[in-house]
Amino acid sequence: MTSAFTGLLAYPITPLAEDGSVDLDGLAGLVGAAVAAGVDGVVLLATSGAGVSFDDAERDAVVRVAVAAAGRAPVHAGVAGESAHRVVARARAAVDAGASGLVLPPFAYLPLDDAEVRALYARVATAVPGAPVCFYNKPVQLGFDVSPDLLATLRDDGSVVAVKDPASLPSRPAGRVAALRAAGVVVGLSGDPALTDGAEPADAWHTGLAALAPAEYVAVRRARVGRSEAADAARTWLHDLARAVAATGRPLAALHAVATLLGTPTAPPRDALVPLTAADGQALRDVVARRP
């Protein structure tokens, strides 16, 4: 089993029916459309997919349906859990369901230190040997920011092949991508506002909006070297949409709203305790209406 975690990786939401159950047909539609538009892979059950809000049976169904819808395109699965035991169980289940690779953040009740992170990733590597793992770095949310030195250690341990890193943080030094590459891992960036507005070149883009507007994102990714009028229009629209999503302060709820506006009806995410305001909803509608 191999996976480079390179190119444009789309992170679909997990669509929900009005009763809160998983809309597997809606998910299959999102995955199939993204692959048909030319994305290089799909990542399920991570932040955009609200993976921690689903039980084991739902997660299994999500992975199996997406793998079938994706055809030959790689499908990766987020396997965050509240304990190492749960992470290992989810990793095994995802691989059994056909996932090509795993995306794992250093999630825990309390922030982990380097030794604990190394132990967590080693347990996953032992449990699912040969399954490539991408380190999902979420320093703002999890209180842990992976260093290039630790990534090199994880690579040498055989437990990590790639990293997903925020494209823009105020504390980030210049040359972050180069430093991560020096660790010997594939470097991917996330954060739609930055990706659509001059982020450092990287081996991969990890993005939720690419699953909702894949044709536009594929055009922008392919035109990152050179320019075209069509790609410029798509970039401007995606950047405006990314900023509107971020401005809500509730990006997961906003992605569900955008999905509905773009033709995949879905109930709000299970863990969205406060709905979008009317003003936020209108701002999203205004941007979607300008789709080139």
The tens digit of pLDDT for each residue in 2-12 reads 457 999 999 99
Hey, what domains does the chain have and what are their CATH numbers?
Answer: 7-227 (3.20.20.70)
Q: Which pLDDT value is given to residue 3?
A: 52
22 DSSP 8-state letter: B
Q: Which entry of 11, 121, 138, 164 is annotated as an active-site residue?
A: 164
Q: Which entry of 11, 121, 136, 217 is annotated as an active-site residue?
A: 136
- Catalytic: 138? no
Rounded Cα distance, 41 and 101, in Å: 10
Q: Which pLDDT value is given to residue 2?
A: 42
- Catalytic: 121? no
Each residue's pLDDT tens digit, 207-239? 999 999 999 999 999 887 555 677 899 999 999
Q: Which of 111, 206, 224, 212 lies closest to 163, judged by CA?
A: 206
Rounded Cα distance, 5 and 185, in Å: 10
Portion of the chain with pLDDT greater than 90, in percent: 86
Q: Which pLDDT value is given to residue 226?
A: 53
SS3 state at 211: helix
For 189, the enclosing helix (H) or strand (E) is: strand 186-190
Q: What's the sign of the alpha-carbon dihedral 23, 64, 126, 140?
A: negative
Computed over every residue of the chain, the mean pLDDT equals 94
